[in-house]
Chain A
Amino acid sequence: DADVTQTPRNRITKTGKRIMLECSQTKGHDRMYWYRQDPGLGLRLIYYSFDVKDINKGEISDGYSVSRQAQAKFSLSLESAIPNQTALYFCATSDPGLADYSTDTQYFGPGTRLTVL
């Protein structure tokens, strides 16, 4: 089984709809992240959470909100989707307390392709 899972894998929605993307992990990591990938732009950080009570904005948080329901679950919401939020969304996890302490390496889920019409 995958360590980091994302649901749904693909979603098509309409402008103005509320959308929730979910991320779950079995790696036991404390830190979780949401990134957005647009063609030709690489990945950009939307939100990150270092534990259940610690949530922080990334560089492109406008139009998004998040919820950290448990150590293993981190959801991303688009309250009112717009077409320029069409992108590939990635969840990632890391934990500096484990073997990767020296690098706090981030491990990514499979991504959710979201299309807003």
Chain B
Amino acid sequence: AQTVTQSQPEMSVQEAETVTLSCTYDTSESDYYLFWYKQPPSRQMILVIRQEAYKQQNATENRFSVNFQKAAKSFSLKISDSQLGDAAMYFCAYRRGAQGGSEKLVFGKGTKLTVNP
């Protein structure tokens, strides 16, 4: 079974600084997708960024980027120029490719990010 591990229950960063959240996963599949979701105090689950395993290029979305290391099964999220609004729980998630089992997102337990002014 696939598992997702977020080893940092809590992280903090100074406003305008850069922070990296870690995620590792375990799978025997070659076709899969990885996601980072943000959950602010409003509880809404918001998609931050996604990565296709077959793509070597790391995904970026404005101030958010990932470091995808397929061989190491590592998928870290880097937040640059941190803003107060970035404070939230961040969840890493895995999904198998389209050949069955693709309905299920497997989530890590989350990392709580605090942004200090």
Contacts and interface: CB of A to CB of B under 8 A. Distances in A.
B52 interface: yes
B64 interface: no
A104 B42 contact: no
Contacts of A33: 103
Contacts of A103: 33, 35, 50, 52, 95
Interface residues of A, number: 28
A106 B105 contact: yes
Determine chain A's interface SS by DSSP, over half rule.
strand
B109 A41 contact: yes
B44 A110 contact: yes
B109 A111 contact: no
Interface stretch (A16-24, A43-51, A65-73, A76-84): A43-51
A48 B103 contact: yes
Contacts of B44: 108, 110-111
Contact of A58 (B33, B35, B50, B104): B104
How many of chain B's residues touch chain A, expressed as a range?
A: 20 to 34
Nearest to A111: B43
Nearest to A102: B52
Q: Which of B4, B35, B103, B109 has most A Cβ within 10 Å?
A: B103
Nearest to A2: B44
A19 B22 CA distance: 38
Interface string B17-49: 000000000000000010101000011111100
A50 B104 contact: no
A42 B91 contact: yes
Interface string B77-117: 00000000000000100010010001111011110000000
B59 to A, nearest CB: 10
A59 B91 contact: no
Given A42-B91, A42-B107, A43-B91, A108 B52 contact: no
Interface of A: 31, 33, 35, 40-45, 48, 50, 56, 58-59, 88, 90, 92, 96, 102-108, 110-111, 113
